[in-house]
Amino acid sequence: MSAPSVSSRVKTYLLDLQYRIVTALEALDGKPFLTDAWQRPEGGGGIARVLEEGLVFERGGVNFSHVTGNNLPPSAAASRPELAGRNWEAMGVSLVLHPRNPYAPTAHMNVRFFIATEAGKEDVWWFGGGMDLTPYYGFEEDAIHFHQTCKQSLANYDDEYSDLYAEFKKWCDDYFYLKHRKEARGVGGIFFDDFNRLDLVQSFAMMQSVGNHFIDAYLPLVAKRKDMPYGEAERDFQAYRRGRYVEFNLVFDRGTLFGLQSGGRTESILMSMPPIVKWRYDWKPQAGSAEAKLYTDFLIAREWL
């Protein structure tokens, strides 16, 4: 299977993945996601599926995009100068889900494919993606379940020389780290980029496995936590910690930067932002509190399995 021919297969898979995830989320929430299709003047477009003020999710989006061009944006060209001037194609599904209940964690998942072509030269392609979990109140069994499912998604693609879960977990821990705060965004998961170590067929299959495992990794956690009683203090802490989510996405996230620099649809790109956020000056949680436990027991480099 050649790289150009795989593009249509990847697109078909991604649209189906978006549909399956939205269907599962609507069943859990009870409210429908709106559909907003958009076109990019420079080439391509996408479909945003968004829920606001749901019964379970305060805000959530599951977006598909497929964009093309002939000049890479700076966020991509900086690390791959040899791709300058090539025609390129990028597609993916990206989601962020912000539950209303502070005991239910926020989740992010993304799977994507990129290819750059030039006449007379070999095609350059890779896959990327992953999923990560951001709790506000930590539950060990939730983190273990999430990481166990991440590990299962990669189990068929290891060989005697590699442990993709261990590799991608470390990559995730390193990537979703707020350097200016010196703290992790959440309890991690898996993250990979520029992946073409396997052949094209196997690399595509691995990406599909990651995407297909998201529902099992995340929805049981929300179902378990969505009806737990909470008060204003828990909502206040949730809003404070959501500020870290905003800081990471606007300062460090490659997907956000790529989308904005490549002329993507701003509304779709920024749907990852939580709806209610607070910042406080030099705030510290009370010692021994559930809020303090998030920092001491969960937002640390830790092996969950």
Residues annotated as catalytic are 108
> Helix, strand, or coil here: 253?
coil
CA–CA gap between residue 185 and residue 295 (Å, rounded): 10
DSSP 181: T
Contact 14, 111 (CB under 8 A): yes
Contact 65, 264 (CB under 8 A): yes
Alpha carbon 196 to its chain centroid, in Å, reads 19
> Helix, strand, or coil here: 302?
coil
| Runs of H (alpha helix) within 164-281 | 164-175, 200-212, 214-225, 232-251, 254-261, 266-269
